[in-house]
Amino acid sequence: MIPNHSPWIKQLRRTRPIVSLDKNIETDVVIVGGGIAGVTTAFFALRNTNQNVVLIEADKIAHGATGHNAGQIASYFEKPLSEIVDEFGLDLAIDGQKSVESAWILLDQIIEEAKLRTPLHRFVGRTGLSSLDQVILNLKNNLYRKNGGLEVEAIVIAEEWEEKEKIPSEYRDLYKFLPQKDLLDLLEVKNKDYIACFSYQKGSMNSALFSEELINHMATQHKERFSFYEGSPVKVVRLKEDYGVLEILDHNIKAKRIVLCTNGFEYLKIKNEAGAEIDTKFHHGVAGRVGYMSGYLDSSSNPPMAASYFPKMKISGANDPTGEKYFYLTRRPHEHDGKRYHNLICTGGPEKVLPNGADYSKEAYCSEEVRGVIDGFLKNNYLKHPDKGVRYDFCWHGLMGYTPNGIRRIGSEPCNPVLLYNLGCNGVGILPSIYGGSRISRFLNNEEVEISIFDPHDQRCEI
């Protein structure tokens, strides 16, 4: 039985005692949730407004999905761009994609202004594909990128691939041919199932360490305007006409605006006393999924990389009702137990849907079945000596909130704008959370914010 043991949490080396809410407070803005979404929302609220901000975390800062992810900085959605175009039209879909990509600049801005030291590695990320359908879908997305004025992904296709003639001619300008051997070198695999490789900007960082450093920065730089409390679960959010009250432990926080950065589905009730009921919609609007990862330390000195692999075989143990199943692998330099190991290799892919109403336990052991699935993937794809296998140093899991359309919710609650959201991790959440934090600060400033694919909707309350 192996416990949930994430390398990101281990690197925190936390010594700060938990300070829980021990009094009633009145403030301008209260942010619920201390993952990367809550922490960066607090950063932009402090930076871009002159309001007082309190952040409330049920457990400890960055111990949710932020401390249990793969740490890949990636700008894609967990659904094809073409489906976002179908739902929202080309312009809004492209704006949404640009918004997520703009978070690279916001990330640099945060690091520079807060003088953070959390290592951030940047490189070209790779995606390996193994079927005609996958290739056509990704080419279609790339054509939308091109038509929308976005930088296109670099695509190479194996010269030897028999089905290459079946690619529709409209995509001909969007890819080049390469000997399969070179394509596999790009993907760092031997498995000849892969016949196409897409390349785009990616990165990696420990988002928990980043969040922890950032919260410490805000607590020292904005002492007069910022405070945060851990071990303080919000039980009830009571919304009035122009303020809200949070019930936490035996105390209350009264605030002009409340921002939920809870990832989703969490254990709070929303009582809208100035309009239509919100609670049921909120809980139905985000479903829980558990993602599983394994990691091992490797003394090779290969450079950092991040790749996603869409294999031919089905990922048994994975449970993704919405779309393609894939594995993701990240390699990065890693400090461990005070020693300098060259690399940490993290692999994930398998997910399980949390049945409605079921509780997720951070303390649950790692699943042997899932570990076997990851092991099989590594042996068939990445490992130079598959017969030797791998001794894992870490295995971990984390809970993610998925919205019905796979897109993060960022903006005001239509039935009561006292409440705002920056939530719904939807698998890839680091850049969207950061963009969300910046967008929320514009709502807090009462700016006219342009409509977007991220807006929460509720027909009952929209004119």
Ligand X SMILES: Cc1cc2nc3c(=O)[nH]c(=O)nc-3n(C[C@H](O)[C@H](O)[C@H](O)COP(=O)(O)OP(=O)(O)OC[C@H]3O[C@@H](n4cnc5c(N)ncnc54)[C@H](O)[C@@H]3O)c2cc1C
Interface residues with ligand X (CB under 6 A) are 32-38, 56-59, 63-66, 68-72, 74, 207, 233-234, 261-263, 266-268, 291, 293, 348, 398, 400, 423, 425, 428-430, 433
CB of 260 to ligand X, least distance (A): 8
Residues 6+ apart with CB under 8 A from 346: 7, 70, 71, 293, 294, 295, 329, 330, 331, 394
By beta carbon distance, the residue nearest ligand X is 429
Nearer to ligand X, 137 or 205 (CB): 205
The nearer residue to ligand X, 256 or 362, going by C-beta atoms, is 362
Least distance to ligand X, CB of residue 423, Å? 6
Distance CA 281, CA 102 (A): 30
Report the alpha-carbon distance of residue 31 to residue 211 in Å, rounded: 14
Classified as helix, coil or strand, 1 is coil
Side-chain-facing half-sphere of 95: CA atoms under 13 Å: 11
CA dist 164 and 243 (Å) reads 60
Nearest distance from residue 215's CB to ligand X, in Å?
Answer: 12
Min separation Cβ 170 and ligand X, Å: 31
Distance in Å, CB of 101 to ligand X, minimum:
13
Q: Which is nearer to ligand X, 139 or 237 (CB)?
A: 237
List Cβ neighbours of 164 (8 Å cut-off, separation of 6 or more). Answer: 157, 158, 177, 195
Minimal distance, residue 35 CB to ligand X, in Å = 2
Among residues 404, 39, 10, 33, which one has the least CA distance to residue 233?
33
Instruction: Report CA 429 to chain centroid distance, whole Å.
Output: 2
Say if CB 32 and CB 239 are below 8 A apart: no
Nearer to ligand X, 180 or 343 (CB): 343
- Closest distance to ligand X from the beta carbon of 231 (Å): 9
Q: In 10 A of CB 149, how many CB atoms?
A: 8
Measured from the CB atom, is 140 or 332 closer to ligand X?
A: 332
For ligand X, give the closer residue by CB, 120 or 461: 120
CA 152 vs CA 146, 149, 169, 435: distances in Å: 6, 9, 17, 21
C-alpha to C-alpha distance for 286 and 417, rounded to whole angstroms: 19
Closest approach, Cβ 74 to ligand X, in A, equals 6
DSSP assignment string, 292-344 = EEEEEEE---PPPEEEEE--SS--TT---SSS---EEEEEEEEEETTEEEEEE
**Residue 208 C-beta: closest distance to ligand X, Å:** 8
- Residue closer to ligand X (CB basis): 180 or 272: 272
The CB-of-37 to ligand X minimum distance in angstroms stands at: 3
Cβ closest to ligand X, residue 175 vs residue 432: 432
CB 258 within 8 A of CB 237: yes
User: How far is Cα 58 from Cα 445, in angstroms, rounded to an integer?
Assistant: 27
Q: In angstroms, rounded to a whole number, what is the distance separating the alpha carbons of residues 50 and 47?
A: 8
If the CB atoms of residues 311 and 401 are measured against ligand X, the closer one turns out to be: 401
Task: Select from 214, 203, 157, 213 the least CA-distant residue to 184.
Answer: 157
User: By C-beta, is 138 or 433 nearer to ligand X?
Assistant: 433
Q: Which is nearer to ligand X, 59 or 324 (CB)?
A: 59
Helix boundaries (H) for 349-403: 368-380
